[in-house]
Amino acid sequence: MRHLRDVCGDQLTPGGEFAVFYRDPDAVAVQDSGEPYGLESTHLTGMGLMILRDEAAPKPATMAFLDYGPLVPWNHKQKDYGNFGLWACGLEMVSEIGYAHQPAWVNRWQGTPIAHNTVLEVASQAQKGEPMLWCINARCRMAEAGLPGSNSRFLAMLLRPEGVPVIVDIFRVSGPAEVSTWAMHARSGEWTVTGIDDLRQVDAEEPLRNARRGTAPGDISATWSFATQNHALLRTTMLATTPAEVTLSECPPEEDEILKAHVSGGNPRPGVEMPYRGHIQIKRPNPAVFVTVYAPGDDAHPNDVVAELVPVEGRPDAVGVDLRCADGTRFVLLHAPEAGPVTCRDLTVDGRAGAVCLVDGEARWLSLAGGGTASYGTMSVVASEGSDALMELGPQR
What rounded mean pLDDT belongs to the chain? 87
User: How far is the C-alpha of 142 from the C-alpha of 335, rounded, in Å?
Assistant: 10
Write down the domain spans for the chain. 2-303, 304-397
Q: Is 18 exposed, middle or buried (0-12, 13-18, 19+ CB in 10 A)?
A: exposed
Residue 185 β-bridge partners: 279
Quick one: pLDDT at residue 126? 77
Quick one: pLDDT at residue 101? 66
User: How far is the C-alpha of 372 from the C-alpha of 370, rounded, in Å?
Assistant: 7
Candidates 3.30.360.10, 2.40.30.30, 2.70.98.70, 3.10.20.70; correct CATH number of 2-303? Answer: 2.70.98.70
* Local structure of 135: helix, strand or coil: strand
> What pLDDT band is residue 72 in, cutting at 50, 70 and 90?
confident
Q: Encode 49-70: b = buried (16+ Cβ within 10 Å), e = exposed.
A: bbbbbbbeeeebbbbbbbbbbe
Contacts of 325 (CB under 8 A, 6+ apart): 160, 163, 166, 304, 305, 306
Q: Is 287 exposed, middle or buried (0-12, 13-18, 19+ CB in 10 A)?
A: middle
Quick one: pLDDT at residue 16? 53
User: How far is the C-alpha of 101 from the C-alpha of 109, rounded, in Å?
Assistant: 10
> What pLDDT band is residue 62 in, cutting at 50, 70 and 90?
very high
Mean pLDDT of 67-85: 81
Q: CB count, 10 Å around CB of 231?
A: 13
User: How far is the C-alpha of 6 from the C-alpha of 139, rounded, in Å?
Assistant: 45
Quick one: pLDDT at residue 14? 55
For the cut 80, the answer to whether the pLDDT of residue 310 exceeds it is yes
This prediction's pTM = 0.90
Amino acid at 342: V
User: How far is the C-alpha of 167 from the C-alpha of 324, rounded, in Å?
Assistant: 13
pLDDT tens digits, residue range 264-297? Answer: 767 888 888 888 999 999 999 999 999 999 999 9
